[in-house]
Amino acid sequence: MEVEEKLRELAKKLLDSKEVDVVIGYGKVHDDRRRGPVFITDPADVDKLVFDERCLNNLAGYLNKRYKLLKAEFDRPAVVLKGCDAKAAVGLIQESQFTPEDVILIGVCCSGVVPDYDSSYGERPFKCQVCDVHRPKNVAHVIGDLPEDEPLLEYTPSEEATELADRPREERYAFWRAELERCIRCYACRAVCPLCSCERCIADSNQPQWIPTSGHEIGSWSWNIIRAFHLAGRCIGCGECARACPVDIPLDLLNQHLRKIVSERFGYVAGLDPEAKPPLITFKEDDAEEFIR
Ligand code: SF4
Ligand code: SF4
Ligand code: SF4
């Protein structure tokens, strides 16, 4: 049976039995040119669920601060997640953003997505090239037949990210100053990131005003650096921020570098284990702390 058929069958079963009152999955939008979130509440509508390599969105974004809004409407939601999206759900469980007992996570095996919805399918994004969760982990149901992958216990960044990280500090600084100067402060990266889960973002605070609100260079620099630090040790590398950025700032290069540092310094890769303590919320008395000297 095709993955989509199995997904629809499971959704129908969950809705029919009232085990869930909504299934949030992917549907056809924009005349079938794109895939986007759909909320299925009627078992008769499960045929609207689709799953293919154009299902780019990370639907774990409904389980962060938006979870309260979701719960105001639905008692018991089910959410369709690819393996990388399920890593975000792990981070959100660790941070108590949603109650795992109240949400059914439906994992769908995934061979990779396409870089954009355009039909001229190009090379798969880097996250798919190094994917260790083609078969989703830490979910209630797994749909599809891909075998288990070996978990990546160390993080390996792309050649592009490694080449950038190897440049002298002045060159890296110049690279990021030039890139971040282009930021228009639309906050699409924040809106789409499942782990950008603060109720009140520091960028919106005005008493005191930590970050200037206009889209000039200093404010944009502050915003992006602060956001990167807030995601350190938490970013699961779904790549949504880079995909959403309307001016194509390569935010994924920054995230990859941070993931590598956290992996090397703390032996921690985000999104693998809901029971693990992320490095930024714990400490070791014998920590060498050489990285802050
Ligand atoms: S990273 Fe893995 S699970 Fe995520 S879209 Fe790519 S292949 Fe699918
Ligand atoms: S920072 Fe970007 S890559 Fe990391 S979890 Fe957020 S959206 Fe995904
Ligand atoms: S999505 Fe891009 S342009 Fe918008 S705030 Fe983020 S980095 Fe800046």
pLDDT, tens digit, 9 for 90 and up, residues 83-137: 999 999 999 999 999 988 999 999 999 999 987 655 455 677 889 988 999 999 9
Ordered strands of the 22-29 beta sheet: 34-40, 22-29, 77-81, 104-108, 141-143
In the predicted model, what is the mean pLDDT of residues 221-234? 92
Band (196; pLDDT cuts 50, 70, 90)? very high
* Residue 179 pLDDT > 70: yes
Amino acid 84: pLDDT: 96
Closest-approaching ligand to the CA atom of 222: 3
Does any ligand 1 atom lie closer than 6 A to the CB of residue 84? yes
Band (41; pLDDT cuts 50, 70, 90)? very high
Does any ligand 1 atom lie closer than 6 A to the CB of residue 110? yes
Does any ligand 1 atom lie closer than 6 A to the CB of residue 7? no
- Ligand 3: residues within 6 Å at CB? 183-189, 224, 244-247, 249
- Cα Rg for the chain, rounded, in angstroms? 20
* Residue 153 pLDDT > 90: no
| Cβ 43 vs Cβ 17: under 8 Å | no
Band (13; pLDDT cuts 50, 70, 90)? very high
Which of 43-52, 71-80, 274-283 is the least confident region?
Answer: 274-283
In the predicted model, what is the mean pLDDT of residues 263-292? 84
Amino acid 119: pLDDT: 47
Band (178; pLDDT cuts 50, 70, 90)? very high
Residue of the nearest CA to atom 4 in ligand 1?
84
Residue 261 CA to residue 233 CA, distance in Å, equals 9
What's the number of CA atoms in the CB half-sphere (13 Å) around residue 55?
Answer: 26
C-alpha distance from residue 240 to each of 37, 76, 84 (Å)? 14, 26, 11
Average pLDDT over the chain reads 90
How far does residue 78's CA lie from ligand 3's centre (Å)?
A: 30
What is the DSSP code (8-state) at residue 151?
P
How open is the CA angle 86-90-92, to the nearest 5 degrees? 110
| Cβ 21 vs Cβ 74: under 8 Å | yes
Residue whose CB lies within 8 A of the most ligand 2 atoms, among 92, 94, 235, 256, for a mutation test: 235
Residue of the nearest CA to atom 3 in ligand 3?
183
C-alpha distance from residue 257 to each of 171, 231, 251, 267, 293 (Å)? 15, 12, 10, 14, 19
How many other C-beta atoms can be found within 10 angstroms of the C-beta atom of residue 58?
Answer: 24
| H helix and E strand count, the chain | 10, 5
